[in-house]
Amino acid sequence: MEVQIMAHTFVSMTLFLIILATWIAKGEVVQSFSEIPACGKSFHLGEEPRGLNSSSTARICQRLRGVCFYATLYDQNARIPIYSAYILEQSTTSRPDISSSNWYLEPMLAGIEKPDMQQASTSLVQNNLEQFEESQAVNNDYRNSGLTRGHLNPSQHHSSEAQIATFTYTNMAPKESKLNSGSWNQYENFLRSSILPSCSETHVVTGVIPSGATVQQGVWIHGRVNVPSFFWSAFFCQLKNGGWRTEARLGRNASPFDVQTKTVAELEEILAAQFGEDVTIFPGENSSE
Ligand SMILES: *[C@@H]1O[C@H](CO)[C@@H](O)[C@H](O)[C@H]1NC(C)=O
């Protein structure tokens, strides 16, 4: 009798754990970005873009040592972020000296309930390497791929801990170095030198258009990590002297590596055609012209 009850309890517990593990692995690091106020603040008016999430995306509050710095929508099939959203900040610290072999990974994607990102060398990652590699891109994917680890939320838009927090593989997508160091770099510099000084607050959403939904379509590294066909970005700035300024960019991750200036509405239309849903990058007032 007692054995039966214990067996029953054991089965219930096991079932519970399986359900919990499935929910964490498949579902999300968070169900909604606004669950964590610091995470919700990454978005203009606290509202995440509409039309970009799917059954394979997870919402990540990018947390380093107990503090959430920005938000990422991560596609677990493509193993790249669809976008990262953040507040543009002054960069007063230099790029942290972390080897790409030791950049951060996301335990909660690997089904491990640790809210802080973890460096690849930690025993937590090393002891669960298979789960990490299954659920996200890692350094080995990028090695010898001929492509750079392209930050969506760039390190030079932040300082100190917020800057370190951008060095996670969940904030990277394979990027041609000519785009990364060319026109896209000019856009990032434009945000720093022209937008930051004239705005009291600027929200940026930077994302990608995957080149295919399955490994049979588009370009992939090792059949694991999708190489996006485009990088895109949109910003919404509250001007210091009143009013607002909002613009978008579309950068081709292939020759001629051009970055086109678009209105937010134009970018939304392009994204809607690619993602098959109506897209709104800045839901709320005054968002698109
Ligand atoms: C996207 O997220 C919203 C808000 O959580 C949800 O209502 C919607 O069903 C999601 N869409 C897809 C395709 O999963």
Which ligand 1 atom sits nearest the alpha carbon of residue 57? 14
Confidence (pLDDT) at 8:
54
145 within ligand 1 shell (Cβ under 6 A)? no
The set of long-range contacts for 92-101, using a CB threshold of 8 Å and a minimum separation of 24, is 92/159, 92/160, 93/159, 93/160, 93/163, 95/155, 95/156, 95/163, 96/155, 96/163, 96/164, 96/167, 98/164, 98/167, 100/139, 100/142, 100/149, 101/139
> Which residues in the chain show pLDDT less than 50?
1-3, 5-6, 19-28, 287-289
- The CA distance from 131 to 76, in Å, is 12
Nearest protein Cα to ligand 1, atom 5: 32
Sign of CA dihedral 211, 213, 215, 220: positive
The pick from 30, 31, 53 for probing ligand 1's pocket by mutation, whose C-beta has the most ligand atoms within 8 angstroms, reads: 53
User: Cβ distance 152 to 172 under 8 Å?
Assistant: yes
Nearest protein Cα to ligand 1, atom 14: 54
Centre of ligand 1 from the C-alpha of residue 257, in Å: 32
Beta-bridge mates of residue 59: 30, 73
Confidence (pLDDT) at 13:
53
Name the CATH architecture for the domain at 2-275: 3-Layer(aba) Sandwich (3.40)
Question: What's the start-to-end Cα distance of the chain, in Å?
Answer: 71
Full-model pTM? 0.90
Confidence (pLDDT) at 29:
76
Nearest protein Cα to ligand 1, atom 4: 32
Which ligand 1 atom sits nearest the alpha carbon of residue 277? 13
170 within ligand 1 shell (Cβ under 6 A)? no
Centre of ligand 1 from the C-alpha of residue 6, in Å: 40
For the stretch 187-210, pLDDT in tens is 999 999 999 999 999 999 999 999
- The CA distance from 36 to 176, in Å, is 34
53 within ligand 1 shell (Cβ under 6 A)? yes
